[in-house]
Amino acid sequence: MTPGRGTVRGAPVPPSVAVMRVLVTGGAGFIGSQIVEVLTHRGHDVVVYDALLPAAHKEPPPPPPNDVPRVVADVRDRDTLRIALTGIDVVSHQAAMVGLGKDFADAPDYVGCNDLGTAVLLATMAERGIRGLVLAGSMVVYGEGRYECGRHGTVRPGPRTVDDLEAGRFEPRCPRCGDELRPGLVAEDAPVDPRNVYATTKLAQEHLAASWARSTGGRATSLRYHNVYGPGMPRDTPYAGVASLFRSALARGEAPQVFEDGGQRRDFIHVRDVAEAHALAVEEVAAETGAAGRADGRSGTLVAYNTGSGDPHTVGEMAHALAGAHGGPAPRTTGAYRLGDVRHITADSARLRADLGWRASVGFEDGMREFAKEPLRGGS
């Protein structure tokens, strides 16, 4: 790495920041492509590595900016990966099969893409002596969020039952007394409790990365993304996030279909804010591992950061804000549900703000107004 400087959206980068060569897996995707843009704006050399899977790319994505090279291959292709990792300082691992999927029949694909793919990547990084990793984590590893019972303090409700969901009883109850609970913010040290296959694979990715770090003396950071939205989300796919599904419905002139009663609390964070947090994490990891691979600081560890806006809203509020900005039909609350969905999950991102000096800059209303007008990936 050589000393250099760059800019990201007009913000100066300290001259002490070194120019790195970063491999971004999944770098042609929704979040990955934004990370590539931010890293190049900050003056870093970037290589995109993406399988261009049809589930994420219904049509060919645009070429990367600034003549950034793109390798079209799967992260399970170890021979191609060895070549792509030549000269790389830090890996930004975004490649994954995302979303809740259709049903449990998707489990082998999730495990193959997310966990086997991560294992192959980490083994090849170890072989090549690369000691810096920033992982696309997810808040889904927590399961349900933090809850307070008036009588029993902090409690962790179990999975919601089919009987309760069918009856429209969507709020979790205290497992000890059955009283209503107050949702709160989850910190990174909260117990993990993945409730579906996707969540399980995201937690397994963190465990694999932590094992790699201990074995190699490397440094791994997992940014546990909240509900990321923004321009370039893939449209009309069961693997997309709820914001994309609502936006796709509005583009077709249809009312967004809101599950349950719309009261599910989430933290919707704009993709540009996520990309900027990721760039800061990449630079921090690079600084701690050193140009010659001399690890210090928190070497041999994985550090997790909740990555949210800090401004929770309900799914119903998001649907109404998006429909109002788009000028489309008002949302329709259906009462339908999906087993494996959690009711409330909003996390405290104070550690990320304190350690990396990052702040979300795109407010909810402004972000939804922009998202309502910008095209989705693969169509309007």
Q: What is the pLDDT of residues 269-327, one digit of tens each?
A: 999 999 999 999 999 999 888 644 444 567 789 999 999 999 999 999 999 999 999 99
| Residue located via tokens 């997310």 | 114
**Residues 6+ positions from 167 with CB-CB distance below 8 Å:** none
pTM of the model: 0.90
Q: Write out pLDDT tens, residues 236-272.
A: 666 568 899 999 999 999 999 999 999 999 999 999 9
Predicted confidence (pLDDT) per residue in 17-34, tens digit? 688 999 999 999 999 999
- Using CA atoms, how far residue 198 sits from 107, 138, 243, in Å, is 8, 10, 18
pLDDT at 19: 87
Rounded CA gap, 25 and 47, in Å?
A: 9
- Return the percentage of the chain with pLDDT > 70, whole number: 91
pLDDT (0 to 100) of residue 340: 76
Calculate the alpha carbon distances from 19 to 140, 193, 261 in Å. 33, 38, 49
Report the mean per-residue pLDDT for the chain.
90
Strands 146-149 and 153-155: antiparallel
